[in-house]
Structure 1
């Protein structure tokens, strides 16, 4: 193990360049999956199966997904410029 990079930051290798990603697709896909799970849980609740807690978790996942999509919309410029 070499101690030079720990002691002297100038001896470190340069880090990799950040990859340019599209968080909109990721957040939208995750929110869509929570929506599908919520529909399944709603059908189970309507059939008489006790899945109310699961439905609440799915709704919370959709709310978080919408909040993340909103954040991504307003901060897209900041994280997209890091990958250039």
Structure 2
């Protein structure tokens, strides 16, 4: 017994899942904003002469954001190549 609205040729209660919109899947914008905020905090901390723990924390956040850019680029390239383990639609 098929549900109304099933895609033609698909039987049973399961339908193909539609692709998520780019605004939901896109990773460049949040990583860019987060990295910029960490580096902005680092500049503020360096100017104010704050405690070194907070300065190192802000630096680590900015560096990890840069690592995130590398991972996003790596996954995007793997997806375009058609690699089996790559995330799709990045």
- Say yes or no: TM over 0.5: yes
Query: 2:49 aligned with 1:41, yes or no?
Result: no
CA distance in structure 1 between the partners assigned to 2:16 and 2:58 by the alignment = 38
TM-score, normalised relative to structure 2: 0.61
RMSD: 2.4
Uncovered stretches (5+) of structure 1, i.e. residues with no partner: 1-9
- Residue of structure 2 equivalent to 1:64: 64
Gaps of 5+ in 2: 1-11, 80-85
Q: How many residues matched?
A: 68
CA gap of 1:44–1:70, structure 2 versus 1, over 3 A, is: same
Q: Say which is worse superposed, 71-80 or 25-34, in terms of deviation.
A: 71-80
* Relative contact order, higher structure (CA 8 A, sep 6+): 1
